[in-house]
Amino acid sequence: ANSGHYNQALALNTPLLSENPRDYDLMHTQTRALLKSNRFKEARRQLRLLEQLECKNNDTKELENDFLTLSESPLTAGVDYYFD
């Protein structure tokens, strides 16, 4: 998910997460990919599950901060080009 291929990460990760729904690393990857895909509602739901599993984990806290920054920003994670 960190390489920028968020839809591919979701396609690969979703079936694995179905088989291992409490796997922290899979949940973290899923949440990051959803967040970076601007799928904030799903990312929030996944983040809450992640917090229940390991709320004191620094990676979880960092992901929470990223979520707050991206979901409340009027900007998107993508890049737009404008020409005059």
The 3-class SS string of the chain reads CCCCCHHHHHHHHHHHHHHCCCCHHHHHHHHHHHHHCCCHHHHHHHHHHHHHHHCCCHHHHHHHHHHHHHHHCCCCCCCCCCCC
pLDDT at 81: 47
pLDDT band per the 50, 70, 90 thresholds, residue 55: confident
Higher-pLDDT residue of 57, 83: 57
Higher-pLDDT residue of 81, 26: 26
| Mean pLDDT score, 8-23 | 92
- pTM for this structure? 0.76
pLDDT at 68: 87
